[in-house]
Every structure is written in structure tokens, then in C-alpha cells.
Structure 1
């Protein structure tokens, strides 16, 4: 390398949109599951197990399998919470689920990404598509004119 040559520096991945797209790509490459962060039939040391939406977001934020978000370092935890929040915001506007108690009162006005992912009628393609659409929505809301 010549002294005047500047090696390329990788672009930082630091927006919820970036992480949502990484989670969608992870699911496309490694598979999707329901009922748990990662496929329970894969050994705990398996590096790339099928994951649920939240599990894939965790992997996108940490760069590796994380059994619970409490295991994330502070920076990755902040990214995880922001990214999961962006996904919930998207789901709240496109697929709202309202939980009502036995007396008919609204108990939860937000969509849980866990219950949405685990809906028996949900498909892997719907999850991947929703993650990508949530990323597009985050970009639309946070990048005026499309510039980064």
C-alpha cells in the first residue's frame, strides 16, 4: 500500500433501520422460529440458529447469539431497545393488537413483537417483510429527503 493510499473504512451500522435490515437478512439466511428467541432444537453453542424477530434483532445488535437482552453490553442494549422500539412502532401502525381483560377494558395498547411473531398464522415471509418495511419507515421518518 502506498503512503498516500487511504484504506476504506467500514460504514458504521448505527441506526435502527440498519439493524432491522440486518435482522431480516439474518432470518432469510438462517431461518425463523416461534415461541423462543432461537430454535430450541439447535444446541446452545450453535452460532446461527433460526431466530424469532426479537432474537434476530438481538443478533444484529450484538453480532452473536444472545440468550437474553440483559446480556448485551450497554451500547448494544441501547441499539437493541431503539431497534425493537422502531419495530413495535411500525407494528402498532400496521398490525395493531389490543389486549382486553375479562371485564372488557383495554390492558395493552401496543403490539408485542413477541406475540405478533408467535401468532400461529404468521409466516417467515411476513416477519422478514415487516422488518424491512419497519426499516423503510424509520428511514422515511428520520432522514429528510433521503440523505443520511
Structure 2
């Protein structure tokens, strides 16, 4: 390659990459509970909840609702959120049960998990990073997609 040529910058971004980017976002900009982002007008990068951080990782900017994502970005967002829920289902299952003891929702909600009053930012960041590692273990061989 000649010095004047630009190296290729496009690459495949995996679900694990999105989860790690969400964790990095939370490390850099802070974690939040209750809404996707801490209400603020003074910064384009406010503290975020786990779903908000995954949304920023997928879209590259803040979105108020997943319906604001493009179809491709929406697919990436939902796949990353699903991978995170799969991780939570195996490590921190929280199921909704009705008054008769029947399971209403068989999957852990990332929103209620994030908003648990006992939850910490470090737990959220660690969970995102560990979910990314698990995704890599299941979907890659030697760093290459399976």
C-alpha cells in the first residue's frame, strides 16, 4: 500500500462489539436508572441506562425510543438487547409471576434489572462485558465469525 492510500476502515461490528461499546459508554458518561438517559440539555452524551447505552452503541447517537432507529440499526439494537437478555436469563433470572404463581414473562427484563434499587453501575458494566464475552464464545472461532 502506498503512503497516500487510505487503509480500509469498514469492518464487521458484532453483537459483542455493541455490548462492549455500551459498557464503554457507561464507563465514560455514567449510568442512569428510570429512563433511557438522565434528563439534560447540556450534553449530547448523558448518563444512560443499559438499554440507552446499547441504543447509542448501535446508532452512534442518542435516541429517545427504539422506533427512531433505522431498520438496519434497529436489527442490531434488538439483537444486542436479546443477547444481553439471554445472558441475564442465565445469570440473574427475574421472572414476573401472577397471583396464582404462573410465570407471566419468562425472560428477564433489562429495564427492571437496570432499575433495581440495589443495582450498581459496576454491575451493569460488568454484565455487558461478560455478555459480550459469552456472545464471542458462542459465535466466533479464533476471532472470526462462525
Q: Which interval holds the TM-score relative to the shorter structure?
A: over 0.9
Task: Find the residue that maps to 2:104 and give its secondary structure.
Answer: strand
**Structure 1 segments of 4 or more deviating over 4 A?**
none
Alignment partner, residue 113 of structure 1: 110
Query: What is the distance in 1 between the residues matched to 2:10 and 2:136?
Result: 16
Q: TM-score, normalised by structure 2?
A: 0.93
Alignment partner, residue 28 of structure 1: 27
Alignment partner, residue 48 of structure 1: 45
1:78 deviates by 0.6
Gaps of 5+ in 2: none
Please show how residues 133-148 of structure 1 align to structure 2 within 5 Å. 133-148=130-145
Alignment partner, residue 61 of structure 1: 58
Q: Number of aligned pairs?
A: 145
1:109 deviates by 1.1
Query: What is the distance in 2 between the residues matched to 1:11 and 1:131?
Result: 24
- Provide the aligned C-alpha RMSD in A: 1.7
Alignment partner, residue 103 of structure 1: 100
Please show how residues 58-97 of structure 1 align to structure 2 within 5 Å. 58-97=55-94
